[in-house]
Structure 1
Amino acid sequence: MSFFNKVLASFGIGGAKVDTKLEKSEYIAGEVMRGKVEVYGGNLEQQIDSIYLTVYTTYIRESDDRKYTDIAPVKKYKVNDPFTIGANETKIIPFSIDLPVETPITIGNTRVWVSTGLDIKNAADPEDKDYIGVRPSKLANQILEVVEQLGFRLRKAECEQASKRIRNQYPFVQEFEFIPTSGVYRGRLDELEIVFLSQSEQSAELLIQVDRKARGFGGFLAEALEMDESHIRLSITTQDLPYLQEKFNQVISKHL
């Protein structure tokens, strides 16, 4: 192969390309993702050091009273060991990986995708991007359903930059903002916010903000000073599911 073609390949021209094909386009957080990576050789033989799949999400970051959309990796996986792909050769590599249970739900403006990259020595690394839909895990879904059963309606859901106070392994948290539309909390609360601080298949750590409705001058003063808000940390496990609605009722009622 000519020197000129080697130079072009180093810039990604005429080099190997990659295409990931997922088994489906929508997953439940925590589910196993299956698919295959197809690698197409270019104009010359190349050494592929690794193939990596990275799950990314978007989140909102505020700076100087302005909002920006940032991206953050949720998980990175190495698919294979080094190999050589010949000119015009095709290699198909199946994979099976776990989608982290803490992957944000794709609701509102939140996006999640799988990025595939080839690590090629002395060459531009080709990439592929596949957007996926993510539904809540079984436990998270039951938590959100119980909140709705208490008479709340989801008004907004967004991935936001996590403050230093609540930051865990990710720079973001997903916040769900509910308003009471029926039941005992209508007229007594302005809103209820739920943040998933951490999750596993068996448990979830929540931060709940109860925003009481202002009553009279004292209430409006408290609202202006944000004294009408209560923040509660709550741990939920699968053992709580039979009486989850009662548990939420007790927690919210204490902060009315």
Structure 2
Amino acid sequence: MFKKILASVGIGAATVDTVLETEHLYPGQKFQAKIIIEGGDVSQQVSGLEMALMTRVKVENDDGHYFVNHVIETWKIGEQFDIASGQTKVIPFEARLHSETPITELNAGYNHCHVWLETGLDIDLALDPTDRDTLHIYPNDAIKTCMSAMEKLGFGLVKADVEKGQLRASNFHTVSGCYQELEYRPHSKSLFGIQEVELSFVPEAHRTHVLIELDRAFRSDGYVDLTIEHDQVNLSQLCDQLERLFA
């Protein structure tokens, strides 16, 4: 009985460990994992197993801003089962990352972008044991080329973060409850009078949309957008497109 009481507060309870085939992924990419459940000091009933794709989002209010954890997507894995004391149970798992998963591998002065998987056991009358696995998310070719075009046009990436909310343009919108912003500033005086450019990418299976916020010296902020087809990624063409949008 004493062991059951301890297990109910997490001492000697079952544990969960997610082992990923790789932590280096792209938005929208499939991933594979093994979920290893180790029985604790007593037999326990597991009502469910859940995995969540998580990030940190910036929330703004009248007093400033703060960061909170945000669930991008969740997966329910398996049915109810019992895990005996000392037993090991391995569950193979495969899923696809949400296409709007924020990019974390960025060369920015201030990079506030973090993504991880959190796996939890739902155990009756016990604290939920959880496992956290950091993910390294890389830009797809369209995003990478757009970032190269910005550098070629004389803009440097200074800050990246993920904000709570939704983006909406004429032909696309976000659905994850958050969006990433990459903040660029000109290395020297901009030919277009632009003080700051913020890019937000919304990838789909065959194309990536880009919402661009322009902060100009003598005009109010404005928004423009473009769509990059994945089979037509071209650095020179992207530079020309961006120049026309900035003019």
Task: Please state which band the TM-score falls in when normalised by the shorter chain.
Answer: 0.7 to 0.9
Residue in 2 that maps onto 1:181: 187
Matches within 5 A, 1:154-165: 154-162=157-165
Aligned residue pairs total 237
Q: Shift of residue 233 of structure 1?
A: 3.1
Which consecutive unaligned segments of at least 5 residues does structure 2 have?
none
| Kept after mapping to 2: 8 A contact 1:112/1:131 | yes
Deviation readout 1:36-71 (Å, 9 max, x if unpaired): 111110122222222211110001112222221111
Which consecutive unaligned segments of at least 5 residues does structure 1 have?
214-218, 220-226
Q: Shift of residue 99 of structure 1?
A: 1.7
Q: Shift of residue 186 of structure 1?
A: 4.3
* One-letter amino acid matched to 1:73: V
Q: Tell me which structure has the larger Cα radius of gyration.
A: 1
Residue number among 67, 72, 79 corresponding to 2:65 in the alignment = 67
Residue number among 149, 152, 170 corresponding to 1:149 in the alignment = 152
The 1:203/1:170 distance shift into structure 2, 3 A limit, reads same
Q: Shift of residue 247 of structure 1?
A: 2.0
Residue in 2 that maps onto 1:216: none
Residue number among 34, 44, 49 corresponding to 1:51 in the alignment = 49
Q: CA RMSD in A?
A: 2.4
Deviation readout 1:148-173 (Å, 9 max, x if unpaired): 22222112111123368778423322
Q: Shift of residue 138 of structure 1?
A: 2.8
The 1:239/1:26 distance shift into structure 2, 3 A limit, reads closer
Deviation readout 1:79-114 (Å, 9 max, x if unpaired): 323222111111122222212221111240221111
- Per the normalisation by structure 2, the TM-score is 0.85
| Kept after mapping to 1: 8 A contact 2:100/2:174 | no
The CA distance in 1 between the partners of 2:167 and 2:94, in whole Å, is: 34
Q: What secondary structure, in the 3-state scheme, does the structure 2 residue paired with 1:251 have?
A: helix
The 1:201/1:56 distance shift into structure 2, 3 A limit, reads same
Residue in 1 that maps onto 2:176: 170
* One-letter amino acid matched to 1:60: K
- Per the normalisation by structure 1, the TM-score is 0.82
Moved over 6 A (4+): 163-167
Q: What secondary structure, in the 3-state scheme, does the structure 1 residue paired with 2:183 have?
A: strand
